[in-house]
A and B are shown apart, each in its own frame.
Chain A
Amino acid sequence: KAGVTQTPRYLIKTRGQQVTLSCSPISGHRSVSWYQQTPGQGLQFLFEYFSETQRNKGNFPGRFSGRQFSNSRSEMNVSTLELGDSALYLCASSLDVSAYNEQFFGPGTRLTVL
């Protein structure tokens, strides 16, 4: 069974641009969560999607948005990029939103904003 895939793996953008990151969950998994990891703040929760609906959102500005498609694939978008958005963006999938389900993480997309 294929794992969680994320594309692209690496991305370089300049301030003010926007970026879209993609996450394909494990087949059969309907829940996708996104996280940001920076050296200063560590791992922080961004959003959680289940059945094309955003269930939870972390404490991030409105420049961060996302969506989930009917095949459970998810995208996140960051508009008007800032230097502080440079980070590793990780997505994780699980069967559903139960707190007792294991999450499976993708390899991440490393975003550098210049």
Chain B
Amino acid sequence: KNEVEQSPQNLTAQEGEFITINCSYSVGISALHWLQQHPGGGIVSLFMLSSGKKKHGRLIATINIQEKHSSLHITASHPRDSAVYICAVSSYGGSQGNLIFGKGTKLSVKP
């Protein structure tokens, strides 16, 4: 069993829909990261969370440390949100570079 599990693996949505991507992990963590990867490979860090909730524009990330679960929400989705979203964790006591990654969720938003 992977230490970081994401669901769903693939997600197709219509423009304007509310989207939720889930991440569950089985290790103690210092921080959880949500990353976005567009075709071509470039990765952008969206959020880093150690507790609670963060919001950037239409993106919201939440984490429940007790349940070892995080969600990434996209409100009013747009075709430009189409990308792979990757959840990654820094295990407790570990350093920021030593990340454990989920397999990613491929999101396609149709106009």
Binding site for B on A (CB under 8 A): 31-33, 35, 37, 42-45, 47-48, 50, 55-56, 58, 88, 90, 92, 94, 97-105, 107-108, 110
Nearest B residue to A96 via CB reads B96
Interface size on B, residues (CB 8 A): 26
Nearest A residue to B45 via CB reads A102
Dominant SS at the A interface? Answer: strand
- The residues of A that contact B33 with a CB separation of less than 8 Å are 103
- Does A43 lie within 8 Å of B88, measured CB to CB? yes
Most chain B Cβ neighbours within 10 Å, of A92, A101, A103, A108: A103
Q: Which of A33, A37, A43, A110 has a CB less than 8 Å from the CB of B97? A: A33
Say if the beta carbon of B23 comes within 8 Å of chain A: no
With known contacts A105-B45, A107-B41, A110-B41, A98–B96 Cβ distance under 8 A: yes
- The residues of A that contact B86 with a CB separation of less than 8 Å are 43
Q: List 8 A-B contacts (CB under 8 A).
A: A37-B41, A58-B98, A98-B95, A99-B94, A100-B48, A103-B96, A103-B97, A105-B43
- Does B42 lie within 8 Å of A105, measured CB to CB? yes
- Does B96 lie within 8 Å of A43, measured CB to CB? no
- Does A56 lie within 8 Å of B41, measured CB to CB? no
- The residues of B that contact A42 with a CB separation of less than 8 Å are 101-104
- Does B95 lie within 8 Å of A56, measured CB to CB? yes
Interchain residue pairs A-B with the least CB separation, the first 5: A33-B97, A48-B97, A99-B30, A105-B43, A97-B95
Nearest B residue to A49 via CB reads B97
- Does B41 lie within 8 Å of A100, measured CB to CB? no
